[in-house]
A = this chain, B = another copy of it.
Amino acid sequence: MPDMGRPRQFDEDRAVEAACRVFWTKGYEATSTQDLCEATGLGRSSIYNTFKSKNDLFRRALSHYVDTMTARQIEVLGEEGPSALERLESFLTVILDGEMENRRDGYGSGCFTVNTITSLAANDPHIAAILEKDLQRRLFSLRTVVEQGRRDGSVTSDRPAEGLAWYLTSVISGMRVAAQSGADRPVLDQVARTGLDALRAGATV
């Protein structure tokens, strides 16, 4: 007999999204259960009844973030028509657009993924696992595009595709850190374009 008892007065996914925003801007430690209640509009009981703990809700929020963000970003890598390098350019543009949009409303909280890597990943295996899975997904997409670029001639660097994929993820993380350090859009565009130069360069060392 399902559908028994008092029904929920809130949408679980919307609660996760609201929690995500708070964790994103304030960080895990600095976010109190009180903050989560206010952001989601739920009472303590509802939060602890729906999610086991603050840590559990954080994992839900982080998973939501990486899934939606990564999907949105790597989507452009699979487009038909442009060369692999052009798709990588679009990819970086999508990321920077998101970064600036995020900066516009509410002042920059940076990238939730990077923030979490640098503050929690070392001490929380569950969280590390979420991030690791997302990283592999991103690396796979990037490695695939690099290999395609090698075939269509837009990527001329002769470094291993795996290394170039790691390089690209590093450049992206680095741009996000630079963005939080105050780098404005023109600077970030320069960084992105310079980053792609390496894919056209011949490796000499």
Contact = CB atoms under 8 A, between A and B. Distances in A.
Contact of A203 (B27, B29, B174, B194): B194
Contacts of A170: 171, 174-175, 177-178, 191, 195
Nearest to A121: B180
Interface in A151-166: 157, 159-160, 162-164, 166
A20 B26 CA distance: 22
A122 B135 contact: no
Which range holds the interface residue count of chain A?
A: 35 or more
Interface of A: 26-27, 29-30, 89, 107-110, 114-115, 117-119, 121-123, 131-132, 135, 157, 159-160, 162-164, 166-167, 169-175, 177-178, 180-183, 187, 190-191, 193-198, 200-205
19 contacts: A29-B29, A108-B122, A114-B118, A114-B177, A131-B181, A157-B194, A163-B191, A166-B178, A169-B178, A170-B174, A174-B174, A174-B177, A177-B177, A193-B205, A194-B203, A197-B198, A197-B203, A197-B204, A200-B201
